[in-house]
Chains A and B, each alone.
Chain A
Amino acid sequence: MSYLKQFPEIEQETVKCMKCGNCQEVCPLYKETRFEGAVARGKVKLTESVLNGDLTYTDKLAKIFDTCLQCKACSAHCPCGVQPDKIVLAARAKLAKERGLPTVKKLIFKGLSAPSLFKTGMSVGAKTQGLFFKKSKDGMSPRVPISGLVLRRVIPTLASKSFLASVSENNKVANPVKKVAFFAGCTTNFIYPTVGQALIDVMKANNVEVVVPKAQHCCGTPVLMHGDTDTATAMAKSHVDIFSQYDVDAIISVCGTCGEAFAKHYPELLKDIPAYSEKANQLAKKTYDFAQFLVDVIGLDKNKLGTVDATVTYHEPCHIGRGMNAGKQQVEIINSIPGVKYKPLKQPNRCCGGAGSFSLTHYDLSYKVLQRKMEDVKSTDAEYLITGCGSCRMQLGDGLAQEKMPQRLMHTVELLAKSYNNGK
Chain B
Amino acid sequence: MSKEQLIQDLRQALGQENVITEHEDLVCYSFDATPDMPNPLPDVVVTPADKEDVVKIVNLANKYKTPIYPRGSGTNLSGGTIPLKGGIIMSMLKMNKILEVDADNLVAVVQPGVIIQDLNNAVAPHGLIYPPDPGTVNTATMGGSVSECSGGLRGLKYGVTKNYVMALEVVLADGKIARFGGKTVKNVTAYDLVKLFTGAEGTLGIITEITVKLIPAPEARSSMLGTFDTLEDAGNAIKGIISAKVIPATLEIMDQVTIRTVENFAKVGLPTDARAILLIEVDGIPEVVAREAELVEKVIKENNGNLQKAKDDKDRDNIWAARRAALPALAQVKPTTVLEDATVPRSNITEMLMAIEEIAKKYNLNIGTFGHAGDGNLHPTILTDARDKEEMERVHKAVDEIFKKALALGGTLSGEHGIGMAKSKYLEWELGENGIEVLNKIKNALDPEGILNPGKMASK
A contact residues vs B (CB 8 Å cutoff): 15-16, 18-22, 24-25, 34-37, 42, 45-46, 49, 54-55, 58, 60-61, 64, 79-81
Contact = CB atoms under 8 A, between A and B. Distances in A.
15 contacts: A15-B335, A18-B331, A18-B336, A19-B31, A19-B32, A21-B136, A21-B139, A22-B136, A35-B20, A35-B28, A37-B25, A45-B30, A55-B24, A58-B24, A79-B328
Interface string B314-330: 00000000000001100
Given A22-B139, A25-B139, A55-B27, 8 more contacts: A19-B33, A20-B136, A21-B75, A24-B73, A25-B138, A34-B94, A42-B28, A55-B23
A222 B212 CA distance: 49
B16 interface: no
Contacts of B47: 34
A115 to B, nearest CB: 37
Contacts of B331: 18, 20, 79-80
A411 B43 CA distance: 50
Interface in B228-258: none
Nearest to B338: A18
Contacts of A64: 24-25
A60 B27 contact: no
B335 A20 contact: no
A42 B387 CA distance: 20
B26 to A, nearest CB: 10
Contact of B73 (A21, A45, A79): A21
A54 B75 CA distance: 24
Contacts of B94: 34
Contacts of A24: 73, 139
Contacts of B24: 37, 46, 55, 58, 60-61, 64
B35 interface: yes
Q: For B24, B94, B113, which residue has the most chain A Cβ atoms within 10 angstroms?
A: B24
A37 B28 contact: yes
A16 B328 CA distance: 11
Given A34-B93, A36-B74, A81 B332 contact: yes
Contacts of B25: 35, 37, 60, 64
B22 interface: yes
Interface in B126-183: 136, 138-139
Contacts of B22: 60
A18 B329 CA distance: 12
A21 B93 contact: no
A79 B327 contact: yes
Contacts of A25: 138-139
Nearest to B138: A25
Contacts of A60: 22-25
B28 A34 contact: no
A25 B118 CA distance: 11
A346 to B, nearest CB: 12
A45 B27 contact: yes
B91 interface: yes
A346 B416 CA distance: 33
B37 to A, nearest CB: 10
Interface in B1-53: 20, 22-25, 27-35, 47
Contacts of B96: 34
B337 interface: yes
B333 to A, nearest CB: 10
A58 B24 CA distance: 9
A18 B27 contact: no
Nearest to B113: A34
A24 B116 CA distance: 13
A53 to B, nearest CB: 13
B109 to A, nearest CB: 21
A65 B94 CA distance: 23
